[in-house]
Amino acid sequence: MIWAIGDLQGCYDSFRLLLERIGFEPDRDTLWLAGDLVNRGPKSREVLEYLYSIRHSLRVVLGNHDIALLAAWWGIKKSNPTLDPILDDPRVEEWIEWLRTQSFVQVDLDLGYVMAHGGIPPEFGLGSSLHYNRILTRRLRSERAPEWLRAMMDKNEDHFDPLGGDLQHERYMLAGFTRMRFCSRDGRLDFDQKGPPTPKVRAKGLMPWFECPVRKPVEEKILFGHWSTLGYFENDAVCCLDSGCLWRGKLTAKRLDIEDCTIVQVPCPEGIAPR
């Protein structure tokens, strides 16, 4: 069986309950994880420890909170009480090196799915996105990864400038893959709006990135997370798997290797109160 699961963010108990509900067997099954494995949730260390133990059964995309862990490890930004147990663990280097080998995009053309934490930026189709995924993953695995990540986090880029150079292009693609929710009609990303796509937000000329009228077509269904206030959402083109587990919502799994839309959800009482 092949299952895709939304943002974990350290909600270990709910994750293990969900795996029990779907009958997951690491020697037989595969999990696609939509990113944000850690941070803010109560058991981020336990999540990372368990994932590392079943790493050969996983296909992972990195989310913005996973990037935050790497940034804390390299001293680019401060840690916090939910990441400290990871950084203080004697196995942390092993876990960090494993995280650095993960991708920002996963795709299976036979299954007909592509996954990125924030989604596929509207200015790009699948081919260009895979090209930039290779560039970003190569940067993250290099010896100069801390320097590169610091430059990536210095500034947001809300559009792709053909004349902008490598730094501008990589900042835009990293933001799209990990932090994207809304965009304007011309595809320019907006990083300020974090709520649901209400009429008030739409009146500002903003819409979910997957509704952008100039979005490049992607034949495969796009799986993504990062948007707890949107919640589980699915149409013919996309599926949001982030159903707000961290915020005492639900943790969602979607079966990928059968045609039926099989969804399994479990509640997440271990999360934190919605703000």
CA nearest neighbour of 147 among 170, 128, 165: 170
The pLDDT of residue 155: 84
* Amino acid letter, 86: I
| Cβ count within 10 A of residue 256 | 21
Where does the chain have alpha helices with state H? 12-22, 44-53, 64-73, 84-87, 92-100, 126-141, 145-152, 165-179, 199-202
Q: State which H helix or E strand residue 4 sits in.
A: strand 2-5
Distance CA 77, CA 166 (A): 23
Where does 180-236 have alpha helices with state H? 199-202
Confidence of residue 259 (pLDDT cuts 50, 70, 90): confident
Q: At what angle do helices 126-141 and 165-179 cross, to 10 degrees?
A: 100
Predicted model pTM: 0.96
Contact between 86 and 71 (Cβ < 8 Å): no
Fold of 2-267: Purple Acid Phosphatase; chain A, domain 2 (3.60.21)
- Classify residue 59 as left (phi > 0), alpha (psi -120 to 50) or beta: beta
Q: What is the mean pLDDT of residues 52-62?
A: 98
pLDDT tens, 132-160?
Answer: 999 999 999 999 999 999 999 988 899 99
The pLDDT of residue 154: 87
pLDDT tens, 217-250?
Answer: 999 999 999 999 999 999 999 999 999 999 999 9
Distance CA 15, CA 7 (A): 10
Confidence of residue 263 (pLDDT cuts 50, 70, 90): very high
pLDDT tens, 18-39?
Answer: 999 999 999 999 999 999 999 9
Residue 275 pLDDT more than 70? no
Cα 69 to the center of its chain, rounded Å: 14
For the chain, domain boundaries: 2-267
